[in-house]
Structure 1
Amino acid sequence: MPASTRRLIARAPQRVERDTVELVLEDGRNITVQRVRDPRARRVKLSIDERGPRLTLPLRASLVTGERFLHEHRGWLQAQLARHQPAGDCAALQPGTSTHLPLRGEDVPLHWDEGRYLRIERREDGIHVQLPPRVSPASLARALRAFYEAEARADIGRWLPAYLPRLPRAPRAIRLKVLSSLWGSLAPDGSMALDIALVLGRPSAFEYVLVHELCHLLQANHSPAFWREVEQRFPAWRDEREYFHREGRRLKARLRALLA
């Protein structure tokens, strides 16, 4: 068969498919598990993050296999849910009711003001939200995200000039995103992605992640040579890594709740 004909009748590339499945835990609770069929997956995998439990299936695995795997690991999943349950401060933003917002490792006083236009800004006495009479939750979430992005970029702007002289080049771009598990990444083209939730935590931890990703411009790996570059620029990196192990899940959960 000619190659041109094979291309015409070839199967379309497989895409990730998502749905949900219900599971009854050992304590009788009924929970919803996100089920993901991923062509890149090599084995059945159960994981949990701030968004909840997730079952990943490779293309060759049947739904029955997935459900059996879930049932066999009910005890593990119940323990993980208890361990990673969001703290009580992971609540949605309530207009006129919420009194604080997390920023740079602190709960900053939040003030609600009446106004014609929606606006969020930092002042000496805290964070002020200018709220018009009618505003949708989606608009408020977008404004809050823009506020956090602006605060994060201000921090990056203060730190970045000190590190650039010892790098082969500057990042091509720095984008702020809501990341599910990573805190940052550096693409092959030099574009950097950083989690917006970093600005909720203590500044030294945010700066460490920036330095970490900048060092990937020198070493595109996590080899001993890479960690030597990090050590030279940020000697206290181990303390910040431990901070993320201790507080990272809560920071991500708080941001997701606020932007929900």
Structure 2
Amino acid sequence: MTFDGLLSKTGRKLRIDYYQSTLNWAIEIDGLQHVSINDQIHDKSKRERKFAEQQARDATIKTYFNTKPEITLIRIPCYCETNSDHFKPLTIQQQYDAAVQICQRIHFALHGTRAPEPDKNRILLQTRNHTTNSESLLNRLNQQYNGKIRATEYRFEDDKPRIILKCKQGHITQVCLAKAYNDVKNINKRPNSTKPLCWACVRQSQFDQAKQRLHESGMIWINEQELRSQFHGTLSHPLTNKGSVKRIMLLCTHENDERIFKEIVLNQLLP
């Protein structure tokens, strides 16, 4: 919903999430980006600029409705404050409770009675299940991925949306939805980039480099199969953590004396 005179600094119309015309209520759903810098944006100056722009929009909206006493501006936060004075997004259940609360408030203001209780379990189950909306999301992502990797499933993990990805090598990884969107943006900016989107492929490539270095040094990599299998993933158990190259230990022995064993950190074998 837009309003006459509610404009950004560049003259673009600013939109309000919801407007209840009978009550004259303008409702804004405030996500984490309203109070916190988006760490998913790797460029520090860009993420600081985006946050400043968001705060400027919020200030413009507040100032506008302060001059419109006939309209009530309601802001619904979809985040909560942590003990360390930081913010985190609400869980799906907390978002549901916040949505029901504002719906009940609107119903009571319109009808003077309490709204019927919705079927919470059914709604949450539909949210988590494979829906038409998730199919549409996967299709959009795959169009943007342009064959570089494939989004195969949309699921919830710890009440957060996740995307299951499968690369051409068959690796199955899981990323948050924000990471998937960020990858798509990078593809659009650098369509000719050869950087793999699958971090399991990156790790396997590092293993190849390490094996070559060990071979040149006359060493045999003993736990190769075990480590490589840890970075493949399945649909039931996708890879969620690539681990640190400083913590991955390669157990090796010397080709001329197999009684000598040595543990080498992967990071030490990479250029």
Q: TM-score scaled to structure 1, two decimals?
A: 0.26
User: Of the two structures, which has the highest relative contact order with CA contacts closer than 8 Å and spacing of 6 or more?
Assistant: 1
Q: TM-score scaled to structure 2, two decimals?
A: 0.25
